[in-house]
Structure 1
Amino acid sequence: MQFGDTPQLRVLDFLIGFHFFDYPLTEIARGANVSYNSLKVFFPSWIKSDVVVKTRRVGKSDYFKLNLNNVFIKNLIKLDWALTKGYVLSRPEKEIEA
């Protein structure tokens, strides 16, 4: 199931898939397949809204990850797992093994 194909959704999808790890903006852009300039447009508002949090600084790079204490993010991760589980359970076993 796909909800759209915008830079914001691509970044959310990437960060939800790897929510245990932190990344610099360049790696988030690369992993989400969005331009760095597009990321810089909306990312500051995500920081301000506590969707993402800065975890550390390495050299000149700030590292960020999803704010797992944010209720919205917790529910998004639950939704992601529910959709994944529903998809896997609806597939025949032969399809899953391949």
Structure 2
Amino acid sequence: MEEKSFFLQYLGDNPRIRILDFLMANFALDFSLPQIAEGSKVAYTTLIDLLPKLIKQGIIIETRKIGKSRLYKINLDSPIAKALFAIDLKLSEAAIQKEVLA
């Protein structure tokens, strides 16, 4: 079984967090919807439901089109995304510190 990221462990394992966790872990790349669904282990229909909200919040952006496919990635210019990265870093630091002290 794959170990959950600190982000998922602390913020909860739900579809929205799994999508964000996947895109944050792969922030330099853009993905099609099927790739995001597979990578985040979220049902495609759930992704289709959540994506417009994440785009409207400015957390995810469409980067380009390849044929009929649209590609998306985390919006590195978004204040919300920046805050999520900061939270992820703090959670990772805290978990590492806890391991060192154990």
TM beyond 0.5: yes
Name whichever of 11-20 and 32-41 sits farther off: 11-20
Which one of the candidate residues 38, 42, 46 is aligned to 2:54?
A: 46
In the TM superposition, residue 2 of structure 1 has moved relative to its aligned partner by: 2.4
Q: CA RMSD in A?
A: 1.7
Gaps of at least 5 residues in structure 1 are none
- The structure number with the bigger radius of gyration is 1
Q: CA deviation at 1:88?
A: 1.4
1:7-86 paired onto structure 2 within 5 Å: 7-86=15-94
- In the alignment, structure 2 segments of 5+ residues that lack a partner are 1-8
**TM-score normalised by length of structure 2:** 0.83
- The runs of at least 4 aligned residues of structure 1 exceeding 2 Å deviation read none
Task: State the percentage of identical aligned residues.
Answer: 33
Select the structure with the greater relative contact order (CA < 8 A; seq sep ≥ 6). Answer: 2
SS in 1 for 2:35: helix
Secondary structure at the residue paired with 1:2?
Answer: helix
